[in-house]
Structures are given as structure tokens and as C-alpha cells.
Amino acid sequence: MDNPMKAKSPDKKPHLSYEKFE
């Protein structure tokens, strides 16, 4: 899952960040 939030939040987990925004 390539999400823009992933690159914006390198310190936070990608799946966690995207799940939070969902």
C-alpha cells in the first residue's frame, strides 16, 4: 500500500498512519 502519508511520516508506521486517516 503506497500512501503519501507513508513518506510524510517515516517515524510513524505506514499502515498505522494510513489506518488513522481512513
b/e map 5-15, b = 16+ CB within 10 Å = eeeebeeeeee
pLDDT > 60? residue 4? yes
What is the value of pTM for the model shown?
0.12
pLDDT at 20: 61
pLDDT > 60? residue 21? no
- Cell numbers placing 21: 486517516
Query: 1 with 14: CB under 8 angstroms?
Result: yes
Tell me the CA distances in angstroms from 8 to 2, 5, one per residue in order. 12, 5
